[in-house]
Structures are given as C-alpha cells and as structure tokens.
Amino acid sequence: MCGIIGIVGNASVTDRLIQGLKRLEYRGYDSAGVAVISDGNLLRERAEGKIAALEAKLGSNPIDGPVGIAHTRWATHGVPNETNAHPHFAGRVCIVHNGIIENFLDLRQSLNGRNFRTETDTEVVAHLVDEEMSNGASAKEAFQSTLAKLKGAYAFGMVIDGEDDKLFAARAGSPLAIGIGDGEMYLGSDALALAQLTSDLVYLEEGDWAILTSDGYEIFDRHNNAVERDVTVIVGGPAMADKGGYAHYMLKEIHEQPETVSRTLSNYIDEFRQTPSLPTDIDFAEIDRVILVACGTASFAGEVAKYWFEQVAGLAADVDIASEFRYRKPVLSENSLFIAVSQSGETADTLAALRYCKSHGVKTAALVNVMTSTMAREADIALPTHAGPEIGVASTKAFTSQLTALAALVIKAASDRKTIDSEAVSDHIKALMSVPGLIAQSLQDEPHIQEVAKTLTSAEHAFFLGRGQFVPIAFEGALKLKEISYIHAESYAAGELKHGPIALIEDGTPVVVVAPMDELFEKTLSNAQEVISRGAEIYMVTDKAGQQHAAGAARHILQIPECHNFVSPILTTIPLQLLAYYTAVHLGTDVDQPRNLAKSVTVE
C-alpha cells in the first residue's frame, strides 16, 4: 500500500509528480522517491521519511524531464530507509511498485551474478526486466515475460533508459489507473493522485499491463491480448483533496459528517415515501444469513450492523475480520448475502474474502466509499457510501456513512422479512433521517471535548467499555485514540472487564464508558462502579437521561443529543472521534499521518 504516480509527456514533470505524490501520501509515508528521464539520462532522488524530505533534497539537487515516475512507501520488505526507497534501478530499468512479490527470494536466487542493492522485493523485478533485455529481448517482451514470472500483488510504473518516450505499467492485486491528458499520459494509484492532472481515467483490470506514450496508450490483458477498457470521468477534481481551512483533514472530515451522512441517506432512503430505497435492490426475504467482512474501523461498522440485523430484522448475521475469514474455510450457504465493508474498496484481505465467497456461489455486495474500486467492480452488488474522499488515515466520516448505509439495509431487511410493521419502519427511517442534524448538534460540544481531552494526555493506558450495540463503538473509540495519540487503549464488552482486565485498573486510569440510556444501561453503570471503586476515572458518553442516572459517577460527561436508540451508535461515535483528535493534537502527534499506518492496505 504505497502510492505511485507517473507522467509521460513533453513538459517538466517533477513538480507535478510531487504534487500528485502528496495526494497519495495517505497510502504510506515511510520514504519517497522520484525518477525522471532527461536528455537520455535516468536521474533519481529519494529520501527517508515524508515527501517534504524528498522535496527538500530536490531543492538542493533538482532533477527534471518530460517523463518520470514517483513513489511514496509503506514499508513491507526492507526497513524504511533511503536505500530501500523506490524507484529501484537495475541496469537500464527503473521501477516503482505497490504490493508484494511473494516469490522474490526464489527469483533473486535465479538471477545469479546480479548485484542487489536493497532488501526489497521490488528490486528483483527491475533486474528481471533488465536481464531479459540484456539477453536480446525488446523492452515490451522483457516486461511481458517478467510479469509472467511474478507471484503476489503489484501495481508497477516503470521507465527504461533508451525507451525515453514510454511509461510501462501493470496491475495485479493493487489498483492502478491510466490518466488521459492532452499531449501527455499519466499513471496513478487512484483518482486522487491524478486529480489535478485529468478527470479522464482508465482503470486497469486484474492482470492488465500497458504501455503509455505522450499521445496514447495500449492495454494488454493477462493473456497478452490487446484490450480496450472503459474511460471513467471522475467528478470532484482538485477540490477533492483540500483541507478547507481546517487544521487537519481528520477535523475537516469529522465536521463534514452532517453533510456526508445526509448524502448517504439520500441514496438509501426514499424520504417522500418513508421507505428504504437501496442503490441496488436486495430482497432480504430470500436471505437467511448476512456475512459482514471487513478490516479495522469498517469491521466495527459490521459489528454494529450485526446487532441491528439480528435485533431489528431477525436475520442471522456473522461478522468476520477479513484476514481471518479467508483462511478459516467458513461454512457458506447459498442463501447467504456476503457484504464486504470497506472505505477504499481495495483492502487486500477484504477483497480476497469477497472473491472467496463469489467463487463459492454466495451472492456478494460491496459497501465501499470508492465506486471505482476493485471491490465495487467485482461484487455482484456495489453499494456506495458517498462519504466523499477521506484523506485522514484515521477513518471518521467513512465510518458514519457505513453505519448509515447499513442501517438502511437493516430497515429494508426488516421490512422485507416483516419483522417490523410499516409504522415501525417509518419510525426507524425518521430516526435515521434525524442523524445529520443531531451530528451537527453533537459537534457543538467540541470546545468542551477539547478541554476534556487535555486530561487524557498524561495517560499511558485507557479503557473503553460498552454493552450491546455500543461494544463496537467502544472498540472504534479505542482504535481512534491509539492510532493517532499512541496512548495504549483497550476496549472490552463492559461485562468482560472483571474477568481479567480489571487487574490493570489503578488510581486515575481513564475508562471511557459508552452508555446512552437503554435497557442495558444499569448493568453498564454497575461495571463503571466496579472500576470507579478501584480508582478509575470515568469518561461517560451518554445522553441526558443517562447523565441523570449516572449522577456523579462520571468525572467527565460527553453528552450526545436525545435520539432513537437505533441510531445512537452513530451519535456516540462523534464525541469519541473528537476526544481522540484533540488528545492527539494536545500531544502534538501527526494526526493525519500517524506513525506506521497507511490508509489503504493492499497487502496481506
């Protein structure tokens, strides 16, 4: 899950490559590099760390030309230093890569006598192409036969000394798009990378490879047949990647939620008829089990939906973490509906789970934020979340849009399966329609949460508790806190704490309890009392009724507006996002690009 970009044209490329790379930085930021062909010379500059470090090096050692490739890295094979930074050279070949070449060690051994300079899996690809050319193959033949030897996942951009007017590209398992310009062609990991260059994209399909020149491109499929692929026109353009005056993308994205949830709703609810109206109809009366599979934050959206599907629609629902699902040989039935939940639509494990289900005859849906993604294209049913591009590595608005879309699916399932009557359907829809306004109301508590967050900055550990549908919200709250503030945060079903983890509670340990008033509230409150009596300080996310009942038990109250119990998981998410955000800001961490993380994980 690195980011790659390339330009082949007639004008200078370095600045534009760097600008594009910055929009890809969310994919990884361990190191960055650029290579250009200038007057027949292949020039390269690389730097450890973020793109700013590369820019600084280019400032004192500028390189430029009309053809180039660039890369921002999230390290897999080889430590994140300058030596292992892409682009990688071998002889006449220079390459950038996103993915993992699984058989790189075998391939390295087969290339006896070649001098490998890095620990990466990628370098071997450059050597293979160069070796083929040294043995007399043309550049095209060398690229083609190299691809046939590779196992694993890749998106490549490659330039070759002596083939100065060409950019070579290939895709298997990692996304890659060609951008069409006027007198130049582009290559990018996603639409965002190319947003300032073009809105006309051609997404390469699995196994495709391509040769780009300044005035056109040729695409070949995995059997090396020339193929045509559709041109997709991307709306949104350069404004897609703008902070809009906020200090961080994450804060901007938190504040966008009234609007993004509204947009999701308008695509899933017929407000006039007060009925669910899914982008693609699904008849849940024919389905006896829903299988939700996802990674990270998206998996917590799936966990909330499990409660909803079972409780509101009486429909059995399983949730699995994608990296586990695909290897445990799950028992599947034909009447199941598989739903991949994924912001990017590219996460390798979730995609593999989708393919697994598809190959076993299970109907598949992909709930994704990127409709041009592989999951959207491969699933039987593509369900867009409409949250708009999410740049902050810690997911916020994509999560609430996932929850909103899943809630609409649940209402549709309940209606199809007649587990609730039309009045209750309408009640649930009204509750859902009130969410954007209630999120806006929640956001007004921001100054208070900013203050509360100061009290967390000295914590080494924090616990997050919830019951029922708030268990996954507690998990999401803890994940947000740990990923951007680096405070160790653990989450538990509130009833589970006494079976071990309570041993870790000491004087002053922060415990965030997610508990709006519901039938489980008193039990959660008892669990809060158990930790209070052992010295814990309670941060309670609750509503007015909950606050009154908690009467003094909590040191800090993060209050959500009164709302229907069905939608309170969405509302309780908002203060937890702000709490994590401001804790991180107070600690001075890199909120949008936290250490070691990447937004789009296209490796296993």
- Rounded to whole angstroms, the Cα distance separating 547 from 515 reads 9
| Residue in the block written with tokens 């702000």 | 578
Minimum CB distance to ligand G6P, residue 342 (Å): 3
Minimum CB distance to ligand G6P, residue 597 (Å): 5
Active site residue 599: yes
Closer CB to ligand G6P, 393 or 563, in the complex: 393
Stretch that binds ligand G6P, among 212-220, 249-257, 276-284, 295-303 (CB under 6 A): 295-303
Sort strands 93-101 and 152-160 into parallel, antiparallel or unpaired: antiparallel
Tell me how many residues contact ligand G6P (CB under 6 A): 15
Stretch that binds ligand G6P, among 337-345, 355-363, 378-386, 489-497 (CB under 6 A): 337-345
Whose CA is closest to 176, among 150, 147, 205?
205
DSSP summary character for residue 111: S
- Rounded to whole angstroms, the Cα distance separating 259 from 388 reads 10
Stretch that binds ligand G6P, among 104-112, 339-347, 468-476, 556-564 (CB under 6 A): 339-347
Active site residue 306: no
Site residues for ligand G6P, window 345-364 (CB under 6 A)? 347, 350
Q: Are 265 and 276 in contact (CB under 8 A)?
A: no
Whose CA is closest to 543, among 447, 465, 445, 424?
445
> Is residue 189 part of the contact set for ligand G6P (CB under 6 A)?
no
- Rounded to whole angstroms, the Cα distance separating 75 from 29 reads 9
Q: Are 466 and 515 in contact (CB under 8 A)?
A: yes
Minimum CB distance to ligand G6P, residue 569 (Å): 16
Closer CB to ligand G6P, 348 or 550, in the complex: 348
Minimum CB distance to ligand G6P, residue 476 (Å): 9
Instruction: Give the other-Cβ count within 10 Å of 516's Cβ.
Output: 27
Among 6, 188, 296, 466, binds ligand G6P (CB under 6 A): 296
Q: How many whole angstroms from its chain centre is CA 408? A: 22
- Rounded to whole angstroms, the Cα distance separating 216 from 193 reads 19
First to last CA, the chain: 10
Closer CB to ligand G6P, 478 or 601, in the complex: 601
> Is residue 319 part of the contact set for ligand G6P (CB under 6 A)?
no
Buried b (16+ CB within 10 A) or exposed e, 254-287: bbbbbebbbbbbebbbeeeeeebebeeebebeeb
> Is residue 298 part of the contact set for ligand G6P (CB under 6 A)?
yes
* Ordered alpha helix ranges (H), 314-347: 322-325
Stretch that binds ligand G6P, among 123-131, 214-222, 240-248, 336-344 (CB under 6 A): 336-344
Among 295, 420, 453, 505, binds ligand G6P (CB under 6 A): 295
Among 75, 601, 602, 603, binds ligand G6P (CB under 6 A): 601
- Rounded to whole angstroms, the Cα distance separating 481 from 579 reads 8
Q: Are 516 and 543 in contact (CB under 8 A)?
A: yes
Q: Are 408 and 268 in contact (CB under 8 A)?
A: yes
Among 342, 396, 568, 602, binds ligand G6P (CB under 6 A): 342
Stretch that binds ligand G6P, among 277-285, 290-298, 326-334, 559-567 (CB under 6 A): 290-298
Among 120, 267, 343, 401, binds ligand G6P (CB under 6 A): 343
Closer CB to ligand G6P, 505 or 598, in the complex: 598
Closer CB to ligand G6P, 265 or 368, in the complex: 368
Whose CA is closest to 535, among 567, 506, 501?
506
Sign, Cα dihedral of 71, 74, 76, 78: positive
The first and second tokens of residue 512, run together, are 């965030």
The first and second tokens of residue 423, run together, are 């009045």
> Is residue 393 part of the contact set for ligand G6P (CB under 6 A)?
yes
Site string for ligand G6P, 247-286 (x = CB under 6 A): ----------------------------------------
Among 344, 573, 583, 593, binds ligand G6P (CB under 6 A): 344
Stretch that binds ligand G6P, among 183-191, 344-352, 502-510, 560-568 (CB under 6 A): 344-352
> Is residue 383 part of the contact set for ligand G6P (CB under 6 A)?
no
Minimum CB distance to ligand G6P, residue 268 (Å): 18
Per the residue annotation, which of 2, 94, 295, 357 is the catalytic one? 2
- Rounded to whole angstroms, the Cα distance separating 517 from 593 reads 36
Whose CA is closest to 410, among 493, 467, 337?
337
Minimum CB distance to ligand G6P, residue 375 (Å): 8
Enumerate the active-site residues. 2, 599
Contact residues for ligand G6P, defined by CB under 6 A: 295-298, 342-344, 347, 350, 393, 395, 597, 599-601
